[in-house]
């Protein structure tokens, strides 16, 4: 009884914070009673609380070994080892619990934390999942499970876990951000943008979130929205008065609270990097140069920014320096973008095998590579069926509408990477045109009409409804009162000629043509926002197969339908713009305007360019891209049997 009383007094002293008396009483208990797991455990707690982790851990270990069935003793040992930075030992001590009693749940928790310390995310995920199953209302457990799954790059599962956490605590801002980030990594970019917008709405002064949102919007092609977020960040950082000078206040935008002369922290480096990536993606290269100059004044070497610094070096013609800078950054940070730039660097250095290999790595780095390839195959299979149905007899059954009172648009089409962005930049230089780029307005009409194979059975009323749907979508992107010619530029509208003919029989069709091998190679070496069609560019043979079936559909429908069509050859455009553009301008019914030939000024004034050609069209015209495929002939071997017959057919 006296021994139990002495131990009780030691526990009471510990609980009231009198660690010295508690230690003395506990030691007396051991001296009188010999090995006592309870006293050893108490001494371990006392030493750990006093900051003597080494001795505390040894006492806790003795207690746990003395009573191995006591889960609570094991929990405290695991936590002490974790606190001491001994993650591997902690994880070894954290045996997998057999059940879900309160003590066993505490051991699951300690095991999860030990796994985090030992950098074993697979065990961490297993442990947090067990806790989530037992305590489904614990938002922190779901958040920690999401973190572990994110470290494993199991992004769809991370999204679900974080969503479960948010459903329990929607106001937790850190959790909201993790959820938005996981959505982006899972390829659900539009949803991610919506989540980041909610974060901006609830924290409008958070510049870092705005810049992250802006970059995501830019990657989605929503460049006007992206620049609006950058404008707002500028106003927050430098005030409304200085917002118009955002190119000269870039450091203030990225680091609004940074004190001059203070060292740059890692979080601040990341903020500058996010801004640099946004400027690079939206083709604001002079602003990016200004930013890189400014960061060096803060003793931040531009090499620490990695990708954007390398992009500037490549743009300036120094591929070797670009390679050096890019290699300072791990490709794991953004493997798609990293390998895309490395492919360009190798190409510039003349190492074509390495360039092709980097492009292959870029494509294989996309999330769910095999799933996307399967979707691409299914898309091409559907196109093969469409190609077979596009017969002259089928086309003869179409009943096009009469031209409407409203001027029909012109349609600029062509296989992707055939020079449509360069051509639309020339057309933008004409004062009587407005080019709408990469808006699927024809899709609004197709939604009304259903499958194109059923088009002959559609009534005049249905066609009228579809045309109204097209114009309604067009009016979302252009002034309905614009008196000039609207040019609807979407390359794969080349597959929608029957719909174009049915709704706009008087429309002018511009077909941009480029050597098939160059177009397919360029598409393979480019990173696209993926959909069923663009997924075909993940593999060179798939890309060639897409070219074959797309040109098959286009050729059959073009031959069967009386659409006014003008073919503009990319290779001729870069060789002699004036001679090539004059017939096209006449075909469109426009007056010749020499100023449209200054495509570089037009490109610089048009703002952000949303196609993958954004970093090319402001450059001087070059014949180098013509015939580029011959430098990759060995790598293109799987594609040539399908592409070379088309090249011959097109006159190459």
The 3-state secondary structure of 31-87, one letter per residue: HHHCCCHHHHHHHHHHHHHCCCHHHHHHHHHHHHHHCCCCHHHHHHHHHHHHHCCCH
Give the per-residue pLDDT at 592.
96
CATH of the domain at 117: 1.25.40.10
Dihedral sign (CA 75, 81, 86, 92): negative
Cα distance between residue 431 and residue 553, in whole Å: 34
Indicate whether 332 and 256 sit together in one domain: yes
Q: Residue 94 — φ and ψ, nearest 5°?
A: -85, 75
159: closest CA among 200, 202, 189, 120? 189
Indicate whether 135 and 243 sit together in one domain: no
**How many distinct structural domains can be found in the chain?**
3
Pairing of strands 410-413, 433-437: unpaired
Greater model confidence, 139 or 278: 139
Indicate whether 321 and 410 sit together in one domain: no
Q: Which residues pair with 485 in a beta bridge?
A: 433
CATH of the domain at 267: 1.25.40
The contacts of residue 119 (CB under 8 Å, 6+ apart) are 87
The domain boundary residue, chosen from 364, 397, 427: 364
Q: Which range of residues forms the domain containing residue 294?
A: 209-364
Indicate whether 116 and 140 sit together in one domain: yes
Indicate whether 74 and 97 sit together in one domain: yes
Judge whether 126 lies within some domain.
yes
Indicate whether 7 and 72 sit together in one domain: yes
Judge whether 106 lies within some domain.
yes
Cα distance between residue 186 and residue 526, in whole Å: 20
Q: What is the pTM of this model?
A: 0.75
Cα distance between residue 295 and residue 284, in whole Å: 17
Other CB atoms within a 10 A radius of the CB of residue 52 amount to 15
Indicate whether 388 and 485 sit together in one domain: yes
Give the per-residue pLDDT at 614.
47
Q: Band of the pLDDT at 245, cuts 50, 70, 90?
A: very low
Indicate whether 115 and 253 sit together in one domain: no
Q: Which residues pair with 568 in a beta bridge?
A: 512
pLDDT in tens, 80-111: 999 999 999 999 999 898 888 999 999 999 99
The answer to whether 514 and 414 have CB atoms below 8 angstroms apart is yes
Cα distance between residue 449 and residue 443, in whole Å: 10
Indicate whether 274 and 174 sit together in one domain: no
Helix (H/G/I), strand (E/B), else coil: 466: helix
Other CB atoms within a 10 A radius of the CB of residue 93 amount to 24
Judge whether 339 lies within some domain.
yes
Judge whether 195 lies within some domain.
no
The contacts of residue 611 (CB under 8 Å, 6+ apart) are 420, 421, 437, 438
Judge whether 257 lies within some domain.
yes
CATH of the domain at 453: 3.40.50.300
The answer to whether 398 and 560 have CB atoms below 8 angstroms apart is no
- Determine which of 247-261, 531-545, 546-560 has the lowest per-residue pLDDT on average: 247-261
The domain boundary residue, chosen from 190, 218, 250: 190
pLDDT in tens, 28-59: 877 776 678 888 888 889 889 988 899 999 99
Measured distance between the N- and C-terminal CA atoms of the chain, rounded to whole angstroms: 103
pLDDT in tens, 553-594: 999 999 999 999 999 999 999 999 999 999 999 999 999 999
395: closest CA among 530, 562, 235? 562
The domain boundary residue, chosen from 321, 341, 364: 364
Q: Band of the pLDDT at 75, cuts 50, 70, 90?
A: very high
Indicate whether 405 and 360 sit together in one domain: no
Q: What is the mean pLDDT of the chain?
A: 89
Judge whether 630 lies within some domain.
yes
Q: Say which residue the tokens 């179409």 belong to.
A: 398
Judge whether 172 lies within some domain.
yes
Judge whether 542 lies within some domain.
yes
Cα distance between residue 628 and residue 525, in whole Å: 12
Give the per-residue pLDDT at 620.
54
Indicate whether 139 and 267 sit together in one domain: no
Indicate whether 98 and 238 sit together in one domain: no
141: closest CA among 109, 115, 167? 109
């Amino acid at each position: 009884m006296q021994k139990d009383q002495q131990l009780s007094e030691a526990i009471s002293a510990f609980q009231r914070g009198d660690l010295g008396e508690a230690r003395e009483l506990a030691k007396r208990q051991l001296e009188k009673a010999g090995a006592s797991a309870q006293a050893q455990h108490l001494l371990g707690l006392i030493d750990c609380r006093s900051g003597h982790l080494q001795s505390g851990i040894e006492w806790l270990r003795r207690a746990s070994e003395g009573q191995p069935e006591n889960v609570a003793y094991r929990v405290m040992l695991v936590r002490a080892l974790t606190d001491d930075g001994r993650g591997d030992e902690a994880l070894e001590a954290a045996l997998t619990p057999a059940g879900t009693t309160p003590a066993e749940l505490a051991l699951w928790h300690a095991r999860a934390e030990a796994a985090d310390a030992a950098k074993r995310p697979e065990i961490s995920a297993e442990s947090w999942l067990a806790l989530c199953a037992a305590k489904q209302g614990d938002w922190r457990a779901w958040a920690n499970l999401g973190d572990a799954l994110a470290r494993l790059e199991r992004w769809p599962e991370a999204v679900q876990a974080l969503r479960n956490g948010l459903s329990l605590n929607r106001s937790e801002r850190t959790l909201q951000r993790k959820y938005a980030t996981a959505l982006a990594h899972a390829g659900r970019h539009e949803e991610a943008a919506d989540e980041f917008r909610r974060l901006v709405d609830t924290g409008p002064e958070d510049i870092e979130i705005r810049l992250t949102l802006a970059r995501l919007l830019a990657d989605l092609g929503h460049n006007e929205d992206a620049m609006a977020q950058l404008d707002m960040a500028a106003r927050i950082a430098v005030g409304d008065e200085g917002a118009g000078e955002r190119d000269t206040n870039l450091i203030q935008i990225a680091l609004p609270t940074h004190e001059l002369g203070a060292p740059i922290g890692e979080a601040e480096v990341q903020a500058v990097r996010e801004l640099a990536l946004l400027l690079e993606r939206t083709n604001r290269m002079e602003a990016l140069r200004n930013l890189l100059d400014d960061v060096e004044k803060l003793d931040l070497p531009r090499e620490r920014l990695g990708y954007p610094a390398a992009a500037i070096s490549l743009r300036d013609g120094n591929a070797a320096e670009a390679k050096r800078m890019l290699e300072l950054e791990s490709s794991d940070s953004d493997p798609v973008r990293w390998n895309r730039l490395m492919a360009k660097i190798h190409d510039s250095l003349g190492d074509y095998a390495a360039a092709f290999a980097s492009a292959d790595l870029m494509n294989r780095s996309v999330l769910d590579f095999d799933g996307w390839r399967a979707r691409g195959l299914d898309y091409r299979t559907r196109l093969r069926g469409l190609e077979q149905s596009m017969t002259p007899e089928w086309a003869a059954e179409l009943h096009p509408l009469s031209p409407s009172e409203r001027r029909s648009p012109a349609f600029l089409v062509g296989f992707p990477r055939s020079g449509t962005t360069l051509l639309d930049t020339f057309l933008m230089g004409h004062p009587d045109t407005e080019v709408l780029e990469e808006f699927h307005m024809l899709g609004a009409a197709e939604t009304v009409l259903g499958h194109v194979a059923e088009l002959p059975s559609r009534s005049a009323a249905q066609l009228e409804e579809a045309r109204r749907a097209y114009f309604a979508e067009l009016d979302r992107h252009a002034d309905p009162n614009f008196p000039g010619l609207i040019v609807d530029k979407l390359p794969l509208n080349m597959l929608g000629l029957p719909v174009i003919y049915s709704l706009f029989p008087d429309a002018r069709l511009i077909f941009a043509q480029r050597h098939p091998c160059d177009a397919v190679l360029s598409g393979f070496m480019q990173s696209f926002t993926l959909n069923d069609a663009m997924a075909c560019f993940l593999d060179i043979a798939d890309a060639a197969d897409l070219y074959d079936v797309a040109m098959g559909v286009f050729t059959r429908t073009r031959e069967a339908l009386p659409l006014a069509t003008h073919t503009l050859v990319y290779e001729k455009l870069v060789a002699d713009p004036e001679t090539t553009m004059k017939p096209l301008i006449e075909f469109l019914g426009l007056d010749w305007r020499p100023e449209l030939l200054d495509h570089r000024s037009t490109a610089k004034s048009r703002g952000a360019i949303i196609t993958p050609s954004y970093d090319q069209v402001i450059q001087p015209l070059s014949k180098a891209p013509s015939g580029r495929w011959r430098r990759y002939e060995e790598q293109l071997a799987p594609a040539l049997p399908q592409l070379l017959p088309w090249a011959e057919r097109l006159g190459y």
